[in-house]
A and B are shown apart, each in its own frame.
Chain A
Amino acid sequence: DAGVIQSPRHEVTEMGQEVTLRCKPISGHNSLFWYRQTMMRGLELLIYFNNNVPIDDSGMPEDRFSAKMPNASFSTLKIQPSEPRDSAVYFCASSFNTGALQPQHFGDGTRLSIL
C-alpha cells in the first residue's frame, strides 16, 4: 500500500518567494497533519484536518503560512512570502481518525531551504 506521499522532496528558493508543499494522505485516512521539524524546536504540529476541515491551526507560525485540503486525497501548505527562518523539514502525516488508538503515519518530508 502506498504511504503518505509528499512533494517536492527538496526545495531551495530565495526569500520572498512563494513556496507550496503538497501531500497525499494514505487512502481511507480521514485525518491529516502538517508538522515542521527543526533542531532547535523539534517536531511541531502546524495544523490538522479532519474530513478535509481544518480543526486546529494554532501551531501555524503567522499569516504567511496557510494550508488547504480541497479533497480527501490532497493537501497543500503554502508559505508566502518565505523567509530564511522558515527553513526546516516539513512533514505531512495521516491517520484513520484522531481517536486515541489511531497512530499517525508520516511521509518522507520536504526539506525546505530559504536563502
Chain B
Amino acid sequence: QKEVEQNSGPLSVPEGAIASLNCTYSDRGSQSFFWYRQYSGKSPELIMFIYSNGDKEDGRFTAQLNKASQYVSLLIRDSQPSDSATYLCAVKGDTGKLIFGQGTTLQVKP
C-alpha cells in the first residue's frame, strides 16, 4: 500500500464548477497535510496546508481533513481553465519529511 494515494485522473470539470480532489494516507501519526499545484514543466507550488480536523478556506480553495478516516481533500470553487494542473497531496509525520502522492491531473474545460 502506498503511503499517500491519489486518483491520477484526469478529473475533468466544466468552468465554474466545483472540483473535488481527494487523498488518503496510511500513517496515523501524520501531523500536517499540504496541497501543491504543479503546472506542466514547472515546479510544485504550495496552495495551502491543514493540520486540524475540519475545513480551512483560502479564497476559492478549501482543504478538508478527517484524521479518523485518514482522508484529506481539496475543493476548488468556481473552477477556471487556469486551474488546470496536477495537484499533489503531501503528508508530513514526525520525521519532518514530506511524502507526496502521485498527483491528480485536473482539466477545467471552458
User: Hey, which bits of chain A sit against chain B, CB under 8 A?
Assistant: 31, 33, 42-45, 48, 50, 55-56, 91, 97-101, 103-109
Contacts and interface: CB of A to CB of B under 8 A. Distances in A.
Contacts of A50: 96
Interface of A is mostly: strand
B44 A106 contact: yes
B95 A107 contact: no
B88 interface: yes
Given A43-B88, A100-B31, A107 B43 contact: yes
Contacts of B31: 100
Interface residues of B, number: 23
Given A42-B101, A91-B43, A109-B43, A31 B96 contact: yes
B51 A106 contact: no
Which 10 A-B residue pairs are closest in the complex by CB-CB distance? A98-B96, A100-B31, A106-B43, A43-B100, A100-B32, A42-B102, A103-B46, A106-B44, A109-B43, A108-B43
B60 interface: no
Nearest to A55: B96
Contacts of B49: 101, 103
Nearest to B45: A106
21 contacts: A33-B98, A42-B101, A43-B44, A43-B88, A45-B98, A45-B99, A48-B96, A48-B97, A50-B96, A56-B97, A98-B96, A98-B97, A99-B96, A100-B51, A100-B94, A100-B96, A101-B49, A104-B34, A106-B45, A107-B43, A109-B43
